[in-house]
Amino acid sequence: MSLKRLNIRGISYSQTQNGAYALVLKEVDGSRQLPIVIGAFEAQSIAIALEKELSPPRPLTHDLFKTFAQRFSIVVKQVIIHKLVDGVFYSSLICERDKIEEIIDARTSDAIALAVRFKAPVFTYENILEEAGIQQHIKPDKELEMEELDGEEMIEELINAAAQEVDDYSKFSISELNKMLDEAVSNEDYELAAQIRDEISKR
């Protein structure tokens, strides 16, 4: 199975309610995007790592992991999102110490937070992109625009986020869910799109 490299496109959140966040990963040399629902703490950690001008007064958990790893000459070489089961993504950290590679199981949100800190590439398999990727039709002369989020504003919103009860989509038919998915993608509501996609996958 071929590996596809992904870049972080952004973190999407609802303007009207607090809750889960969608980390949006985009296929390099392609138009598919992979929205992954993550918690507020992990979203905050990724946002802080991406916002180079911001640094917390005390190290976050992922900062501590990086410092710990560096002290013992451990490097995160890459992250691979290798499995998708019932809407849950499974990832591995490919680490190296003394030219010996080790594979460590990790939650995808934690793996991405560490990949940003180690400047490590993120990959997934073609079959996962086929199953869970959302196709974006981008005009050749115009890159898809995403709302620019102020770094401090985003982090403040993430810190204040409360747990959100996920809507029940079981009452909708597949055709209704597909229409809802298309509408969510058109509105760039990746959090909602990921939830609807996961419901479709379960069917």
Give CATH 3.10.690.10 domain extents, the chain: 3-162
Res 197: pLDDT: 83
Res 95: pLDDT: 97
User: Around Cβ 121, how many Cβ atoms within 10 Å?
Assistant: 16
Q: What beta strand segments (E) does the chain contain?
A: 3-12, 21-27, 32-38, 75-85, 88-97, 100-107, 122-125, 134-135
Q: How high is the mean pLDDT of the chain?
A: 80
The length of the chain is 203
* CA–CA distance, 33 with 8 (Å, rounded to integer): 10
Phi/psi-derived region of residue 50, left when phi > 0, alpha when psi is between -120 and 50, beta in every other case: alpha
Whole-model pTM: value is 0.69
Res 176: pLDDT: 83
| Element housing 51 (H / E) | none
Share of the chain above pLDDT 90, in %: 40
**Cβ neighbours of residue 122 under 8 Å, at least 6 residues apart?**
5, 6, 7, 8, 25, 78, 79, 80, 81, 111, 112, 115
Helix crossing, 190-202 with 174-186: angle to 10°?
160
State yes or no: pLDDT of 89 exceeds 80: yes
Q: What homologous superfamily does CATH list for 3-162? A: Bifunctional nuclease domain (3.10.690.10)
The 10s digit of each residue's pLDDT in 99-124 is: 999 999 999 999 999 999 999 999 99
Res 39: pLDDT: 84
Bridge partners (DSSP) listed for residue 8: 25
Res 17: pLDDT: 41
Res 145: pLDDT: 36
Res 53: pLDDT: 59
Res 136: pLDDT: 65
Is residue 153 helix, strand or coil? Answer: helix
Average pLDDT value for residue range 45-60: 80
| β-pairing verdict for 75-85 and 122-125 | parallel
The 10s digit of each residue's pLDDT in 19-33 is: 678 899 999 988 899
The 10s digit of each residue's pLDDT in 128-183 is: 999 998 886 544 333 333 344 444 555 455 444 433 444 567 778 888 888 888 88
Res 113: pLDDT: 96
